[in-house]
Amino acid sequence: MKENIKKLVESKCTKDNYAKLAALDNPDILSFLGEYVKLCEPKSIFVRTDSSLDIDYIRRAAIKRKEERVLKERGHTVHFDGIYDQARDKKRTKYLVSRGSGLGKNINITEREEGLNEIRTILKGSMHDKEMIVCFFGLGPLYSEFFIPCIQITDSFYVAHSEGILYRSAYEAFCKLKPKSDSVFKFVHSTGELENGISKNVDKRRVYIDLEENTVFSANTQYAGNTVGLKKPALRLAINKASGEGWLSEHMFVMGVKSDKRTTYFCGAYPSGCGKTSTAMLRGETIVGDDIAYLRNINGVVRAVNVEHGVFGIIRDVNPDSDPIIWKALTTDGEVIFSNVLVSEDGVPFWIGDGRNTPPKGYNFSGKWYQGKIDDLGDEIPFAHKNARYTVGLGRLENCDSKLDDPGGVEIGAIVYGGRDSDTWPPVQQAFNWIHGVITMGASLESETTAATIGKEGVRTFNLMSNLDFLSIPIEKYIANYISFAKKLVKVPAVFSVNYFLRNDKGAYLSSIEDKRVWFKWMERRIHNEAGVLKTPIGLIPEYKDLRELFKNYLGKKYTKEEYEDEFTLRVPENISKIERIINIYKENVPKVPKILFDVLYEQKGRLESFMKTYGKYVNPFSLEEY
């Protein structure tokens, strides 16, 4: 590090904090830090190590600086984002790419030098009256094959506190490994100018991702999805890194499904609102992670880790009946950060769908709140935001899997794709093989919108592998990576799809909330060849006798032939329409898609058309034994 930069950094640190930096013995990291000390002009620097004293300092500072408020339960705090800063800003989240580089028209980009100049202008002097917090974390278990070292620079103690719950502390790992800058994911964040403790200039909110330097910049925002760098910003960096190194970085849960003699691990990709978290938290099973997974080929077997150590979850509809384990963690002593909920006058948080009587007044993201309060446009302000969240460590959950920190990860028996689909896919089905599943299930994943979110129900949204929003490589490359990934495997995971949202012609759901337990027990048996199947043109479905047994054993419920027929009748016209939609999406949006994708889709369409000529449009599953 240049002597003048060294002196600048040292001048901003106490003797103790500078000693922490010197102990890194890493000129690359110190040079990176010095660059942003010079740019952001902080009043002082605090360096977070793995020590309990440093961790406690951040917790106390978040409260002292009113980024968080203490609640009634010991260890509980609440944070409020601004009324216009409540979600990921997709429009202003952009990749910085050099001229001539192409990521595909679905990916939001800006010219690299232009973007760097803009974000540096925004960050210039942004911390002049604040303390810069420097944190060292890891994605994945420390010292493992999955581990990616990360450095976060921020002026928000809420962000630093959140990351301390969500990720593994890695200061000692940095000291031991001395990683080079090009192997480190780097994050620079400033809340910008504050007004009443809230980012004032949200119109200048930016989240810029520099793939060349593995660096993410965010400014003029506090919402964790934009500011907690190791969350979705890091997923984008990791997808790009994985593509070059032959592994997969995925928007997937990891969970263990138990039988009498074993635990089988699943990864699952579901778009928002399709039951991802409720599946990862299934009663009687274990959770490794609910959001992001790294998958690697280790000795011919797919092994996966949860890159995180906690949950940043949507709190809406969490209640004692639907989510008893999460509910317990959120209503008993222990470290939890709530965000954008209603807090009563006696310090108790309330949220939409919690099953309790809402207090008539309290405080929320709009300040003091009372029933009937309206905003500047005359619209009534809800007592809690629909995207209100909780941040809690996975260790607080009773069903946390014992292999959460296993450096070897867990062996994956299957990958599951799920979407919100009212009329096409059956509740559960197995692909014929990896390529068939990846293409007809993963790369064909759609989800229907709901009236509660955008005012119009049933609009199908394409979201391959539930990862479209986070792709940092062209779609065609992403699909090709999936196909090539399996070629070097000795043991290839099974691929399944699930659909919890199938309806009858009267609009009623055919499956209950608890039925997903049975679908996963059946999949677990299928992986070990302990359950039969019926072959259809779109995949393999369960036999009635197996489901009848599973419903009885796990739900204490009689599963009738009529229910089975309703749920597993093959809806041929709808399946053909789906394939035609997907083919058109790829033809119109992905110019260089691998030929095998169209081959597999057209083959399935051909099977369906031939099948319809023989069996008709809607085919009772009991007649499939002949197919």
| CA-to-CA dists, residue 286 to 255, 258, 266, 513, angstroms | 6, 8, 11, 18
The owner of tokens 């692909």 is 431
Let me know if 226 is exposed, middle or buried by CB neighbors in 10 A (0-12, 13-18, 19+).
buried
β-strand partners of 286: 256
Contact (Cβ atoms closer than 8 angstroms) between residue 389 and residue 330: no
Q: Any idea what DSSP says for residue 182?
A: G
Count the Cβ atoms, other than its own, within 10 Å of residue 562. 8
CA separation for the pair 233, 184 (Å, rounded): 14
Query: 3-state SS of 205-264?
Result: CEEEEECCCCEEEEECCCCHHHHCCCCHHHHHHHHHHHHHHCCEEECCEEEEEECCCCEE
Q: Which residues are catalytic?
A: 274
Contact (Cβ atoms closer than 8 angstroms) between residue 230 and residue 185: yes
CA separation for the pair 247, 45 (Å, rounded): 37
The one-letter amino acid at 475: I
Choose among 242, 45, 16: nearest CA to 145.
242
Coil, helix or strand for 110?
Answer: strand
Coil, helix or strand for 393?
Answer: strand
Let me know if 376 is exposed, middle or buried by CB neighbors in 10 A (0-12, 13-18, 19+).
exposed
CA separation for the pair 344, 330 (Å, rounded): 16
Note every long-range contact of 102-108, with CB atoms under 8 Å and residues 24 or more positions apart, other chains counting. Answer: 102/474, 103/471, 103/472, 103/473, 103/474, 104/471, 104/474, 104/475, 104/476, 104/589, 104/590, 105/589, 106/468, 106/471, 106/475, 106/589, 107/471, 107/472, 107/474
Structure-token pair, residue 305: 């880790």
CA separation for the pair 207, 219 (Å, rounded): 7
Residues 6 or more apart whose Cβ sits within 8 Å of residue 554: 284, 517, 518, 521
Choose among 441, 461, 442: nearest CA to 450.
461
CA separation for the pair 533, 551 (Å, rounded): 17
The owner of tokens 């493992």 is 144
Specify the pairing of strand 248-250 against strand 215-219.
unpaired
| CA-to-CA dists, residue 138 to 18, 141, 366, 401, angstroms | 22, 7, 35, 19
Choose among 161, 166, 163, 167: nearest CA to 142.
167
> Which H helix or E strand runs over 21?
helix 15-24
Let me know if 258 is exposed, middle or buried by CB neighbors in 10 A (0-12, 13-18, 19+).
middle
